[in-house]
Amino acid sequence: MPGTTKANATTGPVAYINARLLDPATGLDAHGALVTDGELIADVGAKLFTESPPAGVDIVDCQGKCLAPGLVDMRVQLREPGEEHKETIASGSRAASAGGVTAMICLPNTDPVIDDVSGLEFIARRAREVKLTKVFCYAAATKSLKGKELTEVGLLSGMGAVGFTDGTRPLSDPVVLRRALSYARTFGTVFIQHPEDSTLARDGAMTEGETSMRLGLSGIPAVAEVIQIDRDLHLVELTGGRYHVAHISTAAGIDSIRRAKVRGLNVTCDTAPPYFALNENAIGDFRTFAKLSPPLRVEEDRLAVIEGLADGTIDAIASDHAPQDQDAKRVPFAQAEPGASALETLLPVSLSLYQNGHMSLLDVMKRLTCAPADVVGLPLGRLAKAAPADLVLFDPDAPGVIDADALVSKSKNTPFDGLPVQGKVLRTVVAGRTVFEAA
């Protein structure tokens, strides 16, 4: 994606004028202006600078384009420490900046696993050194992600962990999960589950059905998702803990979350762009870039994900950024590692929900900004006085084609390569600093 990153741009007062202001948290969609001063928003409104901006303020003319809170990506694998050949905090932050992401939350499935205070401190220190996108961190729910012994939930919460998860592994033991949910309630944090029954999914390469049979690939039945969710929801009801389902992908799983919300359970969920923009046919003839976890589903499930986003059952959209190197993808499909490089494709692919008439622009942006921030309790994703000056300026109608080779991320494994899209990030601002500007 063409453009430049700027890690050390100045942070003096800046007036963004002639902007279409989008604030999903308040429903604001109006022509106006916004002023940043240092790391915070100093003022914002439709009637700001009706004549001219004050002297001594840097001016950015938005030319009628959309100015919104920066994207808050609640599910990212940065691969550092341990797999820096796939991604680093620096390269991931550059990719995020190019994609309009101003805050991201990384999973703890690194090497070593982020299951103690030193792991959290490492991520925080590296993010401060890189000084681009804000980086937050989940802590592992169980030590070494083994699903047996809980980590120090209270201590890690106090040291900045915004939630607890075993990352790409489901927490399967009901006794351990019950304790995790109880601790989550006690310390006011959230448990995030990878919704997949590990026994049913064992050795599966793609979703089970006619396509998997035709390709001769072992299948993962769609019920593996809802079985895990339904089991967990009983424990949520028992404990009163906060429970979040990551990358939900099936109609049955969405229906379970919908019913749980009606019953008043403290549950939320997110999905990722592949699950509303693609189906299993994207695999084609063993296209490993389309091997994901959970796998791409049938068309009926894709449509159910869109419906779940439109009616609010699905709270947020996350990139589910899982970069892989060529050695992990240029192998037979069954042996390929799942995952996609997704930070830079998050906004343009999500905007297809607006372009295709499924959701309003404000509703799409809500799923990308204040909604994920609210799930993990971060005061981000809003255009308001004294709010963090984390912004994205974008053109929702600019045509383009996703080019894997042009991605800023170290890894280029995207299932969207060659996909025509509308939507281009023009500028990304973090804490008042311009960290990306399109060429």
What are 207's strand-pairing partners? Answer: 220
The catalytically annotated residue of 232, 270, 315, 320 is 320
**Do 292 and 341 belong together in one domain?**
yes
pTM for this prediction: 0.96
- Does any domain span residue 239? yes
Residue 111 sits in a domain of what CATH number? 3.20.20.140
Evaluate whether residue 241 is within a structural domain.
yes
Strands (E), 359-432: 391-401, 420-430
Is residue 381, in this structure, part of any structural domain at all?
no
Residue 383 counted as domain residue: no
Q: Is 15 found in the same domain as 154?
A: no
**Domain membership flag for residue 132:** yes
Domain final position from 353, 376, 399 = 376
Quick one: pLDDT at residue 55? 79
d(CA 372, CA 269): 9
Residue-wise pLDDT tens digits, 236-263: 999 999 999 999 999 999 999 999 999 9
Q: Note down the domain range covering 30.
A: 4-67+389-437
CB atoms under 10 Å from CB of 326, counted, come to: 10
- CA atoms of 303 and 289, how far apart (whole Å): 22
The 10s digit of each residue's pLDDT in 142-197 is 999 999 999 999 999 999 999 999 999 999 999 999 999 999 999 999 999 999 99
Q: Are residues 47 and 87 in the same domain?
A: no
SS3 375: helix
Q: Are residues 98 and 60 in the same domain?
A: no
pLDDT in tens, 276-291: 999 999 999 899 999 9
pLDDT score recorded for residue 9: 53
Q: How far apart are the first and last CA of the chain?
A: 9
The answer to whether residues 159 and 13 belong to one domain is no
CATH of the domain at 18: 2.30.40.10
Number of domains in the chain: 2
Residue 384 maps to a domain: no
Shared domain for 359 and 408, answered yes or no, is: no
Q: Are residues 282 and 415 in the same domain?
A: no
Range 31-57 average pLDDT: 89
| Predicted confidence (pLDDT) at residue 87 exceeds the cutoff of 60 | yes
Q: Is 382 part of a structural domain of the chain?
A: no
Q: In whole angstroms, give the CA distance from residue 224 to residue 117.
A: 33
Task: Look at residue 410 and give its three-state secondary structure.
Answer: coil
Roughly what angle, to the nearest 10 degrees, separates helices 89-98 and 117-130?
50
Same domain assignment for residues 221 and 330? yes
| Rama region for 215: left / alpha / beta (φ>0; ψ in -120 to 50; rest) | alpha
Residue 11: the pLDDT is 65
Same domain, 266 and 160: yes
* Whether residues 151 and 9 fall in one domain: no
**Residue of 355, 354, 353, 329 whose CA lies nearest to 340:** 329
User: Tell me, what DSSP letter sits at residue 428?
Assistant: E
Q: Of 325, 347, 376, which residue is a domain's last?
A: 376
| pLDDT band at residue 54 under the 50/70/90 scheme | confident
Q: Where are any strands of DSSP class E within 200-275?
A: 206-207, 219-220, 243-245, 267-271
pLDDT in tens, 98-150: 999 999 999 999 999 999 999 999 999 999 999 999 999 999 999 999 999 99
Residue where one domain finishes, among candidates 376, 402, 419: 376
Measure CA 34 to chain center: 26
Together in a domain, 333 and 232: yes
pLDDT exceeds 70 at position 297: yes
- Examine the residue annotation and report whether 320 is marked as an active-site residue of this protein: yes
Longest dimension (CA), the chain: 68
Q: How far apart are CA 119 and CA 14, in angstroms?
A: 36
Using omega within 30 degrees of 0 as the cis cutoff, is the peptide bond preceding 399 cis?
no
Does some domain include residue 100?
Answer: yes
* Residue 150 and residue 19 share a domain: no
